[in-house]
Amino acid sequence: MALRTRLTDRLGIEHPILLAPMGSASGGRLAAAVTAAGGLGLIGGGYGDADWLEREFAQAGNARVGCGFITWSLARKPHLLDQVLLRSPAAIMLSFGALRPFAQIVKTAGAPLICQVQTMAHAREAVEAGADIIVAQGAEAGGHGVSRATLTIVPEIADYLARSAPATLLLAAGGIADGRGLGAALMLGADGVLIGSRFWASEEALVPESFKAAAVAASGDDTIRTTVVDVARKIDWPQPFTARVMKTRFTMQWHGRETELAEPAVVEREMERCLDAATRGDVDNTGVFVGEAVALIRDIRPAGVILRQIVREAEELLGRKAPSFLGAR
Ligand SMILES: Cc1cc2nc3c(=O)[nH]c(=O)nc-3n(C[C@H](O)[C@H](O)[C@H](O)COP(=O)(O)O)c2cc1C
């Protein structure tokens, strides 16, 4: 049984799995590995650094990869989109912020436009902007997001798209790290999934080994949504976004005390502490972006092995469970 969906047909890929464009973690090697395994890798453009993007696209070699941007940050460095479009990316993903004018630029360049959304209002905006693919991101997700759960936002957007934009494809994101998650997402009406945390804990991810080891040791109880790490790094995220991070000592020391943390003298000291600890891979004294899916991360393996296992599990589960699921209705 093959997991062929509208997504695999539309993007010309083998499996309905995209690598999330995780800022600084999803480099060229990881994106290329996900593509080589039959998914599609997206390089994490993050807050935008021209040299980093050049280097990571070079690392991807000839692999067909796309790129994702944090939209409100791209608005401050719009030339980065032109830089990436010159490389004929397999797709451009925009998350977190106003889609105009970037959506039109992407579409004019002929690249598939993927928009990650967190609310119904965002979903409607993405459809109006001409998104080819919408990623419905639940609050379980690692990194930035809002508060809706994957289990309800995916079918709500699936129903909305069926009514209002049937040609627009839907991906589920947030908490998907094994075949159960992929199978469930397809059952909820998604055409595929976008996976971050599970690939963040892969051999190719640009993540300190100590962070990955902390994820393996963590349970799903060990993450929290907070603004602490953004306040500490003086990154001014717009409302209503917060980030899911690990409950490190640093994060829990300041969670609930963000106003005090933002005081000039305090934030200068804590920013240095947080960034320095990140450079040294000191988990306790920094912020670590990862999702509730840590619950399902048991080992650090090559991304291709992870992807193929997710697909195998989902195929098995869907083959086994689909008849009884249908019979129960
Ligand atoms: C470490 C990390 C960094 C992330 N950075 C970005 C980013 O720069 N841009 C973006 O659109 N999404 C980013 N995300 C969110 C992902 O796009 C995606 O929604 C999320 O990883 C899906 O949930 P999961 O982590 O449970 O798989 C990040 C996620 C993680 C874990």
Distance (angstroms) between ligand 1 centre and the Cα of 241 equals 13
Contact 215, 297 (CB under 8 A): yes
Q: Which ligand 1 atom sits nearest the alpha carbon of residue 94?
A: 11
Which secondary structure element, helix H or strand E, spans residue 10, and what is its range?
A: helix 6-11
Q: What is the pLDDT of residue 1?
A: 53
State the angle between helix axes of 303-327 and 28-36 in degrees (0 to 180), rounded to the nearest 10: 50
| Structure tokens given for 304 | 């291709």
pLDDT of residue 320: 74
Tell me if the pTM is above 0.85: yes
Ligand 1 mutation pick, 17, 22, 288, max ligand atoms within 8 A of CB: 22
- Cα(207) to centroid(ligand 1), Å: 13
Pocket of ligand 1 (CB under 6 A): 20-23, 25, 44, 46, 68, 70, 95, 116, 137, 140-143, 173-176, 194-197, 200, 289-291, 293
DSSP 205: S
Q: Render each residue's pLDDT in the chain as its tens digit; 329 residues.
A: 568 999 999 999 999 999 999 999 999 999 999 999 999 999 999 999 999 999 999 999 999 999 999 999 999 999 999 999 999 999 999 999 999 999 999 999 999 999 999 999 999 999 999 999 999 999 999 999 999 999 999 999 999 999 999 999 999 999 999 999 999 999 999 999 999 999 999 999 999 999 999 999 999 999 999 999 999 999 999 999 999 999 999 999 999 999 999 999 999 999 999 999 999 999 999 999 999 999 999 999 999 999 999 999 999 999 976 555 444 43
Atom of ligand 1 nearest to the CA of 290: 31
| 265 CA → ligand 1 middle, Å | 31
> What is the phi-psi region of residue 281: left when phi exceeds 0, alpha when psi lies from -120 to 50, beta otherwise?
left
| Atom of ligand 1 minimally distant from the CA of 195 | 27
**Element at 113 (helix H, strand E):** strand 113-117
**Atom of ligand 1 lying closest to residue 199 CA:** 27
Task: Give the distance (Å) from ligand 1 centre to CA of residue 23.
Answer: 8
Structure token pair of residue 285: 């004294």
Ligand 1 centroid–CA 326 distance in Å is 33
Give the atom of ligand 1 at the shortest distance from the alpha carbon of 95: 11
Q: List the structure tokens of 195.
A: 């996976």
